[in-house]
């Protein structure tokens, strides 16, 4: 997830400041909202809060307190209630003057929102807690909570949340005396403080988090030494292990596994969640998959195509039900959010149907923190500029356990699909550049090189057709610190997943939220 580029704001209806008083006083803003892919999220964020205005360098100003004053927004002791008119357009194919024409018509849909402002104590359970991402995120939260600083070869480094959308980004909300005003993302709605998150989770390795952090070789040694007392008592719960879904080279790590049938494994995960919640006294739990990439599951009629078939297949202990699907099923049964951070097809049709029936939050199909994120942005830019990408060749090498697991053809295929599909929507949106069924040549290569550890190298070549048959080639080298990029994204996902559980909405004409 990325903040909206600044240049797009002039094309939006992002709330305008209608009246501004002095620095120490709150001011009302109009609750007109952004119409873009981020509209829903920004709609939720604009409702909040109180803080004062203070000057920043280069004439920038930062909102730290404000309050919405509008007939469409109401504050109670426990809720923010708001009404939002979503303005969009729809097309109709009509017969006019004897010929059919496409006609664009405005459309407005009114939504009512209720946001519970009571922030719960949050527990986060990671599947693959002892991996590079899990140990890095846990260590990072502790470092921030304890205010740890450590020596690097360059300087004394302070803990921060750089790379997190919720914790380290700001949103422009208008102007004051001709100067732009920004607000921190995290202040716009009441969110969980990351420092207060309680961590737990599962892993097929029983290594404690301090040793897992050392094995990962991500954090500086001085920081690791200071974190060890906090992390050496953290030991993952046994995890679900199915060697058919990940690389055979993971077998040496699998000394901490849940035994039994698939149904018994689901029941054990449910038991683990309940016991974690009881032991830690958290109010809410979010589960996130940051374990190994699995191979794709086969979608089979009668096996996983409907909820009934999926549950029956688990009862029969069918082999084609993946561990990630079992974790997701347990979360749906417990009505807690489940986020998938790997590119496999965890959410088979039967699982999606069950989540809809139970109104449970599920989402995600890869973090896309490095090369894939760059690819989605660059291809969007090229196609949006009327330039036709014709060849995209992506090469990666990395030396962490993710790279080791991806060295197996079946798990690599999941990642290859994820990296390739990211360009499909942009290509299909422009029929001027591409004929029906036409796509750029697209090759993805991933190699395992242990020496580089978590410091992934990504090299890309983009060749495009330009004006009058000319060609343009862009070559990019990107050194992606894999877990340091992924950890703050994981943090954002769990915070926003929790926030989403406190938001209810209904469309005009619907009886209940």
Per residue in 260-303, pLDDT (tens digit) is 999 999 999 999 999 999 999 999 999 999 999 999 999 999 99
User: Looking at per-residue confidence, does 5 or 84 come out higher?
Assistant: 84
* Element spanning 255, H or E: none
**Cα 318 from Cα 305, distance rounded (Å):** 14
- Whether the per-residue pLDDT at 308 is higher than 70: the answer is yes
Which residues does 244 contact at the CB level (< 8 Å), separation at least 6? 295, 319
∠389-35-163 over CA atoms, to 5°? 65
Q: What count of Cα atoms within 13 Å lies in the side-chain half-sphere of residue 42?
A: 24
* DSSP result, 300-325: -TTTTSSHHHHHHHHHTT-TTS-HHH
Q: Is the pLDDT of residue 403 over 80?
A: no
pLDDT higher than 60, residue 481? yes
Higher pLDDT, 334 or 47: 334
pLDDT at 406: 77
Burial code of 124-137, b = ≥16 C-beta within 10 A, e = fewer? Answer: bbbbbbbbbbbbbb
CA quadruple 50, 55, 61, 65: dihedral, nearest 10 = 0
Residue 413: helix, strand or coil by DSSP? helix
Phi, psi for residue 392 in degrees, rounded to 5: -130, 115
Gap between the Cα atoms of 403 and 391, Å rounded: 25
Provide, rounded to the nearest whole percent, the portion of the chain with pLDDT above 90: 68
What's the CATH number for 371-483? 3.30.360.10
Instruction: Record the pTM.
Output: 0.84
Examine residue 284 and say whether the peptide bond preceding it is cis (omega within 30 degrees of 0). no
Structural contact between residues 46 and 17, judged by C-beta atoms closer than 8 angstroms: no
**Which of 224-228, 453-457, 471-475 shows the lowest mean pLDDT across its residues?**
453-457
Residue 57 pLDDT level (bands cut at 50, 70, 90): very low
d(CA 265, CA 285): 19
pLDDT, one tens digit per residue, over 431-470 is: 999 999 899 999 989 899 999 988 899 999 999 999 999 9
Q: Are 333 and 383 in contact (CB under 8 A)?
A: no
User: Span 422-434, mean pLDDT?
Assistant: 88
Residues 6+ apart with CB under 8 A from 377: 2
348, 325 contact by CB (below 8 A): yes
Pairing of strands 338-340, 362-363: parallel
The DSSP 8-state label assigned to residue 131 in this structure reads S
For 292-324, letters b (16+ CB in 10 Å) and e give bbbbbbeeeeebbbbbebbbebbeeebeebbbb
- Domain boundaries defined on the chain: 194-367+486-503, 371-483
Identify the band that residue 412 occupies on the pLDDT scale cut at 50, 70 and 90: confident
Note the pLDDT of residue 511. Answer: 86
Q: Phi/psi at 82 (nearest 5 deg)?
A: -145, 155
Residue range 194-367+486-503, CATH number: 3.40.50.720
Q: Which two tokens stand for residue 366?
A: 């890869």
405-421 mean pLDDT: 73
Quick check: 36 pLDDT over 60? no
Three-state DSSP class for residue 378: helix
Sequence-ordered strand ranges (E) for 345-411: 362-363, 388-398
Task: Spell out the SS3 assignment of 36-104.
Answer: CCCHHHHHHHCCCCCCEEEECHHHCEEEECCCCCCCCEEECCCEEEEEEEEEEEEEEEEEECCEEEEEE
CA atoms within 13 A on the CB side of 93: 1
Record the tokens describing residue 458, joined without a space: 């990504």
Reported confidence tier of residue 16, pLDDT bands at 50, 70, 90: very low
Q: What are phi and psi of 489, to 5 degrees?
A: -70, -40
- Beta carbons of 330 and 466 less than 8 angstroms apart: no
Please report the pLDDT score of residue 43 as a whole number. 43
Distance of CA 495 to the CA centre of its chain: 10
> How would DSSP label each residue in 490-507?
HHHHHHHHHHHHTEEEEE
441 CA to centre of own chain = 28
Look over the chain and give the mean of its residue pLDDT values, rounded to a whole number.
Answer: 87
Q: Which of 21-25, 191-195, 243-247, 505-509 has the lowest mean pLDDT?
A: 21-25
Q: Of 65-79, 228-242, 399-413, which range is least confident?
A: 399-413
**What is the band of 25 on the pLDDT scale with cuts at 50, 70, 90?**
very low
Does residue 55 carry a pLDDT above 60?
Answer: no
pLDDT computed for residue 23 by the predictor: 39
**What pLDDT is attached to residue 332?**
98
- Token pair 């099923």 is found at 329
């Amino acid at each position: 997830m990325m903040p909206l580029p600044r240049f797009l704001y002039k094309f939006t209806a992002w709330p305008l400041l209608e009246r501004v008083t002095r620095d120490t006083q709150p001011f009302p803003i109009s609750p007109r909202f952004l119409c873009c892919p981020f509209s829903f999220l920004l709609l939720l964020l604009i409702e909040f809060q109180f803080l004062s205005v203070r000057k920043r360098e280069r004439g920038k100003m930062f909102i730290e307190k404000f309050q919405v004053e509008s007939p469409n927004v109401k504050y109670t002791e426990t809720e923010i209630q708001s009404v939002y008119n979503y303005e969009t357009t729809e097309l109709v194919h009509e017969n006019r003057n004897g010929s059919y024409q496409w006609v664009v018509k405005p459309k407005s849909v009114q939504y009512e929102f209720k946001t519970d402002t009571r922030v719960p104590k949050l527990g986060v359970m990671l599947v693959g807690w002892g991996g590079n991402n899990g140990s890095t995120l846990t260590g990072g939260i502790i470092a921030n909570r304890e205010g740890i600083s450590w020596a690097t070869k360059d300087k004394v480094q302070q803990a921060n949340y750089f790379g997190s959308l919720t914790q380290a980004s700001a949103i422009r909300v208008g102007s004051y005396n001709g100067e732009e005003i920004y607000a921190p993302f995290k202040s716009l709605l009441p969110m969980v403080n990351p420092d207060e998150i309680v961590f737990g989770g599962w892993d097929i390795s029983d290594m404690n988090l301090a040793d897992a952090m050392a094995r990962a070789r991500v954090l500086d040694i001085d920081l690791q030494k200071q974190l060890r007392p906090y992390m050496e008592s953290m030991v993952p719960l046994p995890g679900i292990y199915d060697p058919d879904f990940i690389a055979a080279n993971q077998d040496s790590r699998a000394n901490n596994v849940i035994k039994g049938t698939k149904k018994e494994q689901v029941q054990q995960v449910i038991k683990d969640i309940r016991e974690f919640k009881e032991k830690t006294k958290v109010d809410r739990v979010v589960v996130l998959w940051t374990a190994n990439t699995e191979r794709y599951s086969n979608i089979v009629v009668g096996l996983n195509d409907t909820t009934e078939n999926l549950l029956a297949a688990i009862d029969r202990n069918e082999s084609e039900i993946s561990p990630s699907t079992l974790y997701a099923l347990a979360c749906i049964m417990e009505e807690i959010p489940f986020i998938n951070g790997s590119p496999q097809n965890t959410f088979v049709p039967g699982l999606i149907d069950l989540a809809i029936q139970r109104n449970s939050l599920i989402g995600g199909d890869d973090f896309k923190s490095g090369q894939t994120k760059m690819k989605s942005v660059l291809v969007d830019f090229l196609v949006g500029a009327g330039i036709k990408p014709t060849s995209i060749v992506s090469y990666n090498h990395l030396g962490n356990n993710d790279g080791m697991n991806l060295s197996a053809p079946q798990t690599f295929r999941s990642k290859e699909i994820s990296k390739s599909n990211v360009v499909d929507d942009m290509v299909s949106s422009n029929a001027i550049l591409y004929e029906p069924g036409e796509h750029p040549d697209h090759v993805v290569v991933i190699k395992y090189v242990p020496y580089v550890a978590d410091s992934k190298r990504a090299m890309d070549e983009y060749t495009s057709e330009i004006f009058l048959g000319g060609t343009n080639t862009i070559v990019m080298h990107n050194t992606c610190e894999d877990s340091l990029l992924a950890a703050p994204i994981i943090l954002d996902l769990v915070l926003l997943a929790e926030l989403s559980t406190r938001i209810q909405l209904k469309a005009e004409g619907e009886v209940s939220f």
